[in-house]
Structure 1
Amino acid sequence: MLARAADAGARRTDFPVAAGANDLPPAWPESVGVDSRPLVELSEYIRKENFDVRSFLVIKDGKLIYERYSKGLTRDHNYELYSITKNVTALAAGVLVDEGRTRLDEKVATVLTKARPDLKSAFADKESIELRHVLSMSTGLVYNFKPTDDPIYYGAPDRLKLAAETAPKRRPGEEFDYTDVNPILASATLGADAGMPLQDFAEQKIFKPMGMKHYAWERADDKGLVSSGWGLRLRAVDMAKVGMLALSGGRWDGKQLVSQAWMRTMTAPASAPFYGLYWWINDIVSTEPEVHAMGFKGQFIVALPERNTVVVMTSMLPIEGGLRESKNVLAIRHMVNDFVLPALDNKRQATLTPASRKALLKELDLAAHNQGKPGAPVDPTDKPRL
């Protein structure tokens, strides 16, 4: 292994970096039949475009084969994941279904008016909404979003009240409509079914059993309710574990954390061909099976079952272009399809040589000194934390 000079700004060590307790085992790409040259080219592309990519990881056959961080960041930094919070919520919902504590056909109004009798009249026009509608973005509810300091996102005194007062636009199950009212209903319903705040249930059933570190689920409202749509902070290596759980059919370290039946349901089309239960389907890679988690401003977990591979990115990339065609979505599509997949395909060229080792080490050092320019407005919550 080649030594690197210490650099207080980059704060990088050798590659592969030795695994800490409960971390993924590191390996050179070529040791699992992956050509590192396209991965070097990927990093060069990110620097050339001046993208603010904070972390980019590739995990193959359970091994961490590519670990790229930008200036000042390390494996132990966590990141605001925005809508990837939904994907973890779907896993927690699966545990509750497996334990018989909730059901997809459960009426959320029944659960929530029992927990909040003061909202009974507000939920009167929502009695046909089931948990499956909430998790598949098909409740038919509409929210009048006001981007500047909107109380559903910032400083909310009572998010559930805001969600309860939204108006139905369509019948439940009729149409996919991505709105952040739904994850508020999800966190309140699942927390009530769990008998504890959703963040505590997720810690008990997912974070701790999977050996995650430095996690946090923040931005609760004044009543202590977190949203299932934002606020979760994970390290990139722990994001990778979420993707690996999708690959393994819910199994981790010899234990079935979430049933295979739920994992199949969660990642199958529900309200749209490209959307399951808070998981996206074949919207990054269309030529083979693929599911992924996607967060605002460029956070991604991409799972490729046929390759036993997970790709993770945290970034601050442009948001213009709409939900499925925003610039950050276009960027990750390009990165995965035009760099990562070729690296996985070039098995005949996957020979670790002194030259390929040197090229990868050199590029990771350059990346470690490079920050990139944020392509989206930066909020205080976007700052990576230890």
Structure 2
Amino acid sequence: MPLWRPFTDIITNVRAVIIDDNIGAIASSYDRRISILSHDASKLHTLRLPEPIELDSLVTLPSTMRDIRRIRHIFVGGARKGGVIYSLSTSILQIINEEKISQQSFGGITFIKAFNIGEIEIITAGAPEAFWMAFYKDGKIVEKFKINCEGSPIEATLRPEHTTILFALAEMHSKKISIYLLNNSTSKKNVEIKHQFRIKENPAFIRFISLKDNTEGPYLLIGDRSGRISLRKLNGEKVWSQFLGEPLAWRRVLIEDINDDGEIEIIVGCQTGVEDLSKKSLSPLFILNWNSEILSKATVKGWIKDFRIIDQDDKKLLLVAAGKRIYLFALGDNLLKEERVIKFEKAIWSIDLLEVNETLYLILGFADGEIGFARIEEKNVII
């Protein structure tokens, strides 16, 4: 797999897109730059921002669109200045708006996530002691508002409920979980706090989850940095808890019916050790059932950064980026069976997958600013 170096620091985000019926990418880095890249990493457009661009802080609008010609906006989050979101145009890659969402001067954006609900696109973001939410329709902003927080939101999750929207925030430092109800409108005056509670450790991720073919719920699935995952009612009452022993990866969890039996499985990964590439950093990967039972466990080298499920003919694969390696696991019978490992010379920090013209592409962003475009072919060959 050929590698190119369009950046000089960690590639914090990669978003696979279609450019002229071929694979391409929108990528950002701690070196302050964001670029639109062709399949050979040629820079079609590049913009240098006033600050580094944070991890997990790049989304596009419309959020479900991958063709660069139909993407109207790119949103990226700055890692400094207290939390600034930059809205960019895709045509010539220039800043069209800046939004400072926190009153603090320290820290930066902690995450940006996009949700699609019918005709409405919702952009959410966290920063020190602040949460921001914006609503777009037909590419134009309809409403936006901020919510002051005690801590720093590290993730939001959202769930439509008939004519209302439930959304939940998980905060670092305060360790607070807040559930809100948005009634019939995008206005902040219609936001109602339903529940608030605290957990014992800093949260790593939060998701709404329903059980047994969506007939039971919603519940909250919460992972924390001590290595505990728990299922809770919306009021915080614990249904079950499972201690996995190692810090869970930030904002990384997959909830899926792996074996098509009508019941969900939960896939989580850990980040063991104080350094990503320490020889002692052996990070576990788990599959749990909906009732907290550990179905399978595997160990990989380095911190687990991301993982994705690939549907391949009659089987499912789990692609895992950890340390300097890409792992491919078969998911038969809910067991993690290692099928292939590919090692690189530097750490992987960001990945994305996209199928273009019946070919599945993998994009890798590395710690030294290099980027790679690969094809995943039959028999799990990555070239």
Q: TM-score, normalised by structure 1?
A: 0.24
Highest CA radius of gyration, 1 or 2?
1
| TM-score (norm: length of structure 2) | 0.24
More helix by percentage: 1
Instruction: Identify which of structures 1 and 2 has the higher relative contact order when contacts are C-alpha pairs closer than 8 Å and 6+ apart.
Output: 1
Q: Which has the higher strand share?
A: 2
